[in-house]
Each structure stands twice: as structure tokens, then as C-alpha cells.
A and B are shown apart, each in its own frame.
Chain A
């Protein structure tokens, strides 16, 4: 159960942890675009090498990155097999493309959450989307919702694990026939939802009792700012991005 570590911060204090979160979000979007620009074996391999280098630099162990989306790799694999079978010509490349795009996109998202705390992510979203405020879109509230959601992923994971242990101790069977399995899964989902709703209610009460939303705009304890490392990282990333574009243009 604890293997599902998607959204869990890994405090290894690598250089990626120090970067400005808004910038990292921008990199994430651009990286995913670069995955879709690349259509050849060469191009896709460049994307793979880049994400590998990022993981090495981040000092997050490969195991932790992989573990955070292990279950979804199967999905990527199945879809690439389907693509391979349905494509008449060059099915191998098509399958490879689908597989690499899906796993690298998962990988980069996992890397973002492993190297960025939920509140940094929220601040990053807020500052990169703040221009939307001209259109009266409540960017701050959206950012807070995202941050709370990210905060709650590990909390709910822990809760799910507790309930799983309790029901397993009562003989719940997660591998037997379908009927038994179904009742075992229900025995976890019902208390999990009950506790999620209870927590959400408690959180809302405690925010309200501290006057959330009634004052002027919230200020921040730590402001992110742009540092030398951010400039360097932007240069590096820009060269990667231009490189993938030129691979596409020159090699097809």
C-alpha cells in the first residue's frame, strides 16, 4: 500500500529541490511538449536520457521514482501493445512512442512532486497563473485547493494502510474469488471515504474559525524569488528544448 508514493516529497536536498516551483511547473509543461515533438527513436531517446539525468541530479533514488507510478507502467505497457497490434506499418515505433511518452510524462510529474513540497507547488501555480486574476478567476483559492489535495494524498495513504491492516487481521481476502475480493475492497473503501469526509469537514471548520477568506489577500511566509541556479537551470533546459526541436527538424 505504501508503495503508492505518488505525491510524496522526498527531502534529499538535491539542486532540483532548490529551484523555483513556478519554473519547475513551466519545465514540466515544456518537457511534456518535447515528448510530443519527438517522433523518432533518436528524439525519444534524447527525452529518456534527459529525464534520467534529471533523476540523477535530483538525488532521489531511481527506486523511489519508479515506485511512485509502478502500477501505471502496466497501463502504459498494455496501451503500447494495443498500439503495436493495431498499427499495420511500423508498429514497433508507434508502440515505443506511446510507451516512452506515457512513462516519461509520469516520471517527470513524479519527479516534480518528489522534489517540491505541496505548498511550493501551490505557490508556483499561484504565481504562474496570477495573470488570470484580471478575468476574476480565484487563482489563490484554486492554488490552495491543489495544495490541500497534494497534502492529503499521503495522509489518506496512511489511513488506507491502517484500515487495510485492520481488515486483513479480520481475515479480509484480497486475492481470493471475485465476490470475496469485492467485499474486502468495500470494507476498505467505506471507512476510507467516511474518514476523508470527516477530515475535510474538520479542516473546513478550522479554516473558517481562523477567518479564512474574509481578510485581504493572504501573504506568504517564504517568497520564492529567482536565483542564480534558476537562471542556470533555465539555460540548460532551453538548450535541451531547442535540441529536441532541431532533432525533429533535421532528422525527422
Chain B
């Protein structure tokens, strides 16, 4: 088991007027090589939960255990590019891990290739890239650190259909190579099509935690809709015609 949450709760701003309980009593077990999707509507605590995985947040009560390095890709990671060239930006992580410049460059090139960016982009200024390319560069920045666990917050938000599809394919590939992949989304179709495990959050409570295949039975409809989500649709157009 690579990640374990034991009865984890998180309270923001305890003792002030802004006090907010964002997570309550979360239990979670993630095995090596799992692909887990965390679903919930805006404000349900998804981002708070994943920040516990690499220790950015500490639980107010309960315990979190993580084995191996967890790379976090935040929402809109393209806003965090800073270096003068794409390759420099991707090398930032490996350099921080104590790699030499040569090793870091090799890791960066490999990561950029994995993310589907050609070598002509290496020396471009990241601010001149398109939105989708920036996101790939930012993703490469995390992949270059060779994480055993990859956590992504709303990776497809704001991407067009083709870019999302290729991003999801990449995640699938990484997963089949043994990387544990955890993604946050509120699109249930994504959850069903690409992830084997599913965790549904509703106001900080885990209301479903298990196999994706079992999640979308008719009996769970009420639970899913109460959480502010939609049952996955077989075919969007067919659904609209009905």
C-alpha cells in the first residue's frame, strides 16, 4: 500500500470566523499501481485532500502515510511556469532533488518527450506557448522528477477535447508502467472510462469509496446526485435527444 489515510479531518483557520471543516473522517487505501479518481463538486474538499498526500497540509486529526515520492500537478499548472525556457523550467524539479545539470537535462528531455512535446519547443519561452502546450510543459516539470505517485488536480479543466484525450492516454500509459495515478475531476464520464477506483466526496465526507465498476449502479444514483454530480452518460447527444 502506497497511501493510507486514517480517519483524516482537516479544519482551515481553527478558532477564527473563517473556520471551515474541509475534510471529515476520511479513510483511504491506495495500492501500488492503482488508478484512483476523486470526484466531488466545487468546494467538496478534493484539493484539500490531495494536498495531504505530499505533506503540503497536515491533518487536523488522523494520520496520513505515503510511501515513495508523490508528484502533484495543481489545477492550471501552466500559471506556475517561470523559467526563461521550457527546458529550464522542467529541469527545476530534478535540480532541486540534487541531480547534476546533465542528469537533470536528460530527465527533462525524457519527460517532455513523454508529455508529447517536440525538441523544437525546448528553448522556447514558456510564456509564448499555447494554453495546452503550457500545461504539457508543466506536467513534464513534475514527470521529470520520476514520481512513483502522480496526483493531478482537475487535469482536463479548460482543455479542448483532443488535448484532454491525449492527456488521459498519457496517464493511462504511466499507470500501466506501474505509476500510481490519482486524479481529481467532477466529470463522471472520465472517472468511468479511465480509472479503476473511485472516491466521491460530498462536503468533506467520503460518500463512496470503491471500484468504479460498482459505483454507477442505479442504487447509487441518489448518492451521486446528492453530491452534486451526474451519472455518466453513455452518449451525450443520445442523452440530449431523449
Contact = CB atoms under 8 A, between A and B. Distances in A.
Given A162-B74, A165-B51, A165-B74, A171 B82 contact: no
Contact of A169 (B54, B82, B83): B54
Contact of B93 (A61, A163, A171, A180): A171
Interface in A143-184: 162-163, 165-173, 180, 183
B159 to A, nearest CB: 18
A6 B72 CA distance: 30
Interface of A is mostly: helix
Contact of A171 (B17, B79, B96, B127): B96
Given A10-B17, A12-B17, A64-B16, A170 B82 contact: no
B79 A190 contact: no
A49 interface: no
A195 B134 CA distance: 14
A172 B80 CA distance: 12
A188 B82 CA distance: 8
Most buried by A among B77, B80, B142: B80
Contacts of A10: 17
A94 to B, nearest CB: 37
Contacts of A188: 82
Interface of B: 15-17, 51, 54, 56, 71-72, 74, 77, 79-83, 92-93, 96-97, 127, 141-142, 145
Given A162-B79, A169-B72, 18 more contacts: A61-B15, A61-B16, A162-B80, A163-B79, A166-B72, A166-B77, A166-B80, A167-B80, A167-B82, A168-B56, A169-B54, A170-B93, A170-B96, A170-B145, A187-B82, A187-B92, A191-B82, A194-B127
Interface of A: 10-12, 61, 63-64, 162-163, 165-173, 180, 183, 186-188, 190-191, 194-195
